[in-house]
Amino acid sequence: MLLEVDVLLKGFDEDIATELQRRGREFIEKRDADLAARLAELGLSEEVRETEGLTLPMLVALGEKGVKTRDDLADLASDELREIVGESAMDNDTANGIIMKAREHWFAAEDAAAADVAKA
């Protein structure tokens, strides 16, 4: 891999390489700022925004499709989640894991209700 990079950069001097890196960082920073602004407009819940495994572009895509709460996320099937965020961005196991994590509060509520019934 290092040899491939050396071959690709052979015609570039250090100044050009530094400039390309700077432009790349600026592009990513602007893109992320634009996505963060869009995310704020969409009104996703804090629980969804903090979901492990979801990137900023994925969160914006979810919000644009109306997935704004933990229950909205939990209601999805893995193929629906992957279609929204991009099938190449997430495999089926990851999608299932995210959805099951979003559903955890459902099971906790059911367990608490069952415990209350058992006490009575």
- Written as one string, the DSSP assignment of 59-86 is HHHHHHTT--SHHHHHT--HHHHHHHH-
Residue 94 scores a pLDDT above 90: yes
Of 57, 17, 16, residue with least CA distance to 35: 57
Return the DSSP state at 87. G
Q: What is the pTM of this model?
A: 0.72
Ordered by start, the domain boundaries in the chain are 2-119
The predicted structure's pLDDT at residue 1 = 46
The half-sphere exposure of 105 on its side-chain side, counting CA atoms within 13 A, is: 10
pLDDT tens digit string along 52-89?
999 999 999 999 999 999 999 999 999 999 999 999 99
Query: How does the average pLDDT of the chain come out, rounded?
Result: 86
With cut-offs at 50, 70 and 90, classify the pLDDT of residue 46.
very high
**Percent of the chain having pLDDT more than 70?**
81
With cut-offs at 50, 70 and 90, classify the pLDDT of residue 2.
very low
d(C-alpha 5, C-alpha 9), whole Å: 6
d(C-alpha 45, C-alpha 70), whole Å: 7
Please tell me the chain's helix, strand, coil percentages from 3-state DSSP, rounded to the nearest 5.
Answer: 80, 0, 20
Return the DSSP state at 103. H
